[in-house]
Structure 1
Amino acid sequence: MRPASAAPAIAPRSWAMLAVMVFGQASTTVVTATPAFLIPYLHSEQGMSLASAGVLAGAPHLGLVLTLIAWGALTDRFGERRVLLAGLALTTLAVAASMLAQGFAWLGIALVASGAMSACINNASGRLIAGWFPIDKRGLAMGIRQTCQPVGMAVAALAVPAAANAWGITGALAFGGVLTLVSLVACAIVVVDPQIPAKTLAQASSNPYRESGTLLRIHAVSVLLVIPQFVLSTFGLVWFVIGFGWSELAAGALVAAAQLIGAVGRIVAGVWSDRAGSRLRPIRIIAVACAALLLLSAAFGWADWAIPAAIAYVLVSCVSVADNGLAFTAVAEIAGPRWSGRALGAQNTGQFLASGLLPPAIGALIAVLGVPAALAIVAIAPLIAVPIVPSEDDAHATATRTAKAVR
């Protein structure tokens, strides 16, 4: 977890693979986020209730939950390149199936399938970057990699409502499918598995979950901190369109801006962790800031102050995603090369399980209490996370025992 005194130079190819992973993960993010940005269209044009539309919004994330650990195990066994090529090809096919689906049930099943197949890149991309970048630059690299989610959300926020209004649900779904197909081609051209010394692999055989509860605590913290992130990204558009009467274009631009600023925040958090020699201490500060900004957003919402609420929304959206790269990097480093695929799968499983279950529940809560009250209630989650964050010393000790590295 601490920066090495003499890190190897970063190969130019590493940056090329990082760029392809950002594009690929952003593309699959568009695929999984598309149903969430269809909520206003489904609600106003199709007459669907917010709770029902929320079910479709959560369907891809449910699919992710079902396959993340399996994709991680496949990555540990067969390597990143094979998993990426197979998974992205299957994702493209699943999106095509969702475009052809007729009726609520079949559409929901197809969306679950598209999320399940897109899970291939979540673990493989993180493992690939951890293998190609030295420890003192890994926070930066993972921070850049983590921009894929807010960038994908921003693209979806701008493109999906417009595509739905122009070409209906089929056109909106097709957008993410085309991006995924392009990312598949890019992976085939650029991606090469990192070369991990055989001696390191032979020594990195210990199960990190048996060494201590550090990884489980990080997983729990990440689940708690992902709650505000997905509430804000899923229902931000609805809040400003229905709650404040903004146009879909204006609300979409606000959500996109929040996601893009959040992308920069992830990079800053990664550099912060590299310089501090800690992935976990910054997470505590982020959790406290997130809770405070959620309460501020709720207050502005109750006061019906649209512009202050929009500013607070952008700030809390940025802060709410800043911890993701830090936790992801910590898990990869602690788990080691033989377990990182499965550990990253477990990390994402908890997060996407929460995101899959949240939209229907939050949609129903908003229908009863309104968005400001829902934000105030959600602020409890990051406050609970603060004392659960493990100490840096515990994380470093677990990583050392797991790796048994020879100096």
Structure 2
Amino acid sequence: MRRWLILAVGIVAQATTSSFLYGMPFLIPELQSSTGASLAEAGVLVSAPLLGLLTALIAWGAAADRFGERVVLTVGLAATGVLLLVSLTLPGPVALGGGLLVAGAAGASVNAASGRVVLGWFGPGERGLAMGLRQTSQPLGVGLAAATLPGLAERFGYVAALALPATLCLLAAALVVAVVKDPPRPPRPAVSASPYRAATGRTLTRLHVASALLVAPQFMAGTFAVTFLVSQRSWSAVDAGRLVAVVSVAGAVGRILAGVWSDRVGNRLGPMRIIALLATATMLAWAAGDLLDSSLAVAALVAALVVTVTDNGLGFTATAELAGPFWAGRALGVQNTGQNAVAMAAAPLFGGLITAFGYPWALAATAVFPLAGAFLTPVAGERRLSNGVDPAEVEVRP
């Protein structure tokens, strides 16, 4: 029973930091009016936490490998809350941006450790389900931010709005102390060789690259879905937003089902390759529908919003399993870094392609990313290395 509580706390911790890290764009109008920042300057401010996240993921992963997940989660969540509150007292947008960057770096601890503790407490037959459930935390956090931050900012200002996720981080840290327990591990060897130098190195590297490529269609669909429906299909912004919100729930369910699927078939990367090919097909169908001015475009857009998010948990689970109990944190840090780097580049890259060539050609170009990811997904490497044995080598206790 306790491991399910630990899973729930991991979801809460990730949702809490996600409401800050990925909820900042909801505050752009208030940041502009309160600080006098231009749209471009406000964009830099809301990107600062993600830049901090990118710089610290691997370091937090190494800390989790060395000191355990409970310590890293507690320290990271508490530091995020405190640093975010402090940053809100700093004068001027430059100081504010620096504070948000440092707070985002502290928030990276949850990405590195919460998934690792979940994987440690669940065996290979349940791990896909557990990680699929945990992967719902990001959309839950974004939903929390969408529901609370704009209203708080409009009524009380951005300082009061950001005080909410800061306080939630502090409460989540207390919850970790009360509930989370580090999973048991085998005795630490005198020398823990890097999995990147062993037989797993090539497989892990290909997995990281494939997972990063699969982020491209996810952020293309998520970023431009509303804009596409409004500009190309003459929908109202309200109706388009409602559709995307409803479909996002289906995407979260898809992550869970993909995890269960991987548990049933006994591997993660076979399903991940199939999802990559389906993502390719949805992007091409979306492009064709728009080119033909057909209702196929809307149906394909909905399919893309669901399919392109379902692989995330599979890549994370496989990464931790292949890296083993003493390198899983660092390997997850590498995995997270690559995916977030592509996520940050996706909006300007595809926005430029849409402006220059229109949606059909931009969508067709996007389809190249999951297609390449499908070919790079190291399905044979995972099967060869696991050979029916739990690759994570973690003793699981109820």
Q: TM-score, normalised by structure 2?
A: 0.86
* Gap change, CA 1:196 and 1:317, over 3 Å in 2: same
Q: Deviations over 1:227-261 (max 9, x none)?
A: 22233334445555666676665444333323221
Shift of 1:263: 1.0
Aligned to 2:309: 321
Aligned to 2:171: 182
Aligned to 2:329: 341
* Partner Cα separation in structure 2 for residue 133 and residue 225 of structure 1: 26
Shift of 1:291: 1.8
* Partner Cα separation in structure 1 for residue 299 and residue 91 of structure 2: 40
Greater relative contact order (CA < 8 Å, ≥ 6 in sequence): 1
The partner residue of 1:21 within 3, 10, 26 is 10
Aligned to 2:363: 375
Q: Tell me the SS of whatever aligns to 2:217.
A: helix
Instruction: Single out whichever of 148-157 and 37-46 deviates more from structure 2.
Output: 37-46
* Partner Cα separation in structure 2 for residue 261 and residue 283 of structure 1: 18
Aligned to 1:331: 319
Q: Tell me the SS of whatever aligns to 2:185.
A: coil
Aligned to 1:9: none
* Partner Cα separation in structure 2 for residue 206 and residue 402 of structure 1: 19
Instruction: State the aligned residue count.
Output: 391
The partner residue of 1:223 within 187, 212, 219 is 212
Q: Tell me the SS of whatever aligns to 1:153.
A: helix
**Contact 2:321 2:392 (8 Å CA) reproduced:** no
* Partner Cα separation in structure 1 for residue 66 and residue 366 of structure 2: 38
Instruction: Single out whichever of 36-45 and 95-104 deviates more from structure 2.
Output: 36-45
Gaps of 5+ in 2: none
* Partner Cα separation in structure 1 for residue 147 and residue 299 of structure 2: 19
Q: Tell me the SS of whatever aligns to 1:126.
A: helix
The partner residue of 2:137 within 148, 155, 164 is 148
> Is 1:116–2:105 an aligned residue pair?
yes
**Contact 1:59 1:356 (8 Å CA) reproduced:** no
Percent identical across equivalent pairs? 46
Q: Deviations over 1:11-44 (max 9, x none)?
A: x000000001011101111111112334577789
One-letter identity of the residue aligned with 2:126: K
* Partner Cα separation in structure 2 for residue 241 and residue 78 of structure 1: 50
**Contact 1:62 1:352 (8 Å CA) reproduced:** no
> Is 1:202–2:194 an aligned residue pair?
no
Aligned to 2:345: 357
**Contact 2:321 2:390 (8 Å CA) reproduced:** no
Gaps of 5+ in 1: 1-11
Q: Tell me the SS of whatever aligns to 2:308.
A: helix
**Contact 2:286 2:297 (8 Å CA) reproduced:** yes
* Gap change, CA 1:350 and 1:404, over 3 Å in 2: closer
Query: What RMSD over aligned residues (CA atoms) do the two structures have, in Å?
Result: 3.3
Aligned to 2:280: 291
Aligned to 2:251: 262
* Partner Cα separation in structure 1 for residue 127 and residue 365 of structure 2: 35
Q: Deviations over 1:201-234 (max 9, x none)?
A: 3399332111230000000001101122233334
The 5 Å alignment of 1:155-194 reads 155-194=144-183
Instruction: Single out whichever of 380-389 and 150-159 deviates more from structure 2.
Output: 150-159
The 5 Å alignment of 1:82-97 reads 82-97=71-86
Shift of 1:96: 2.0
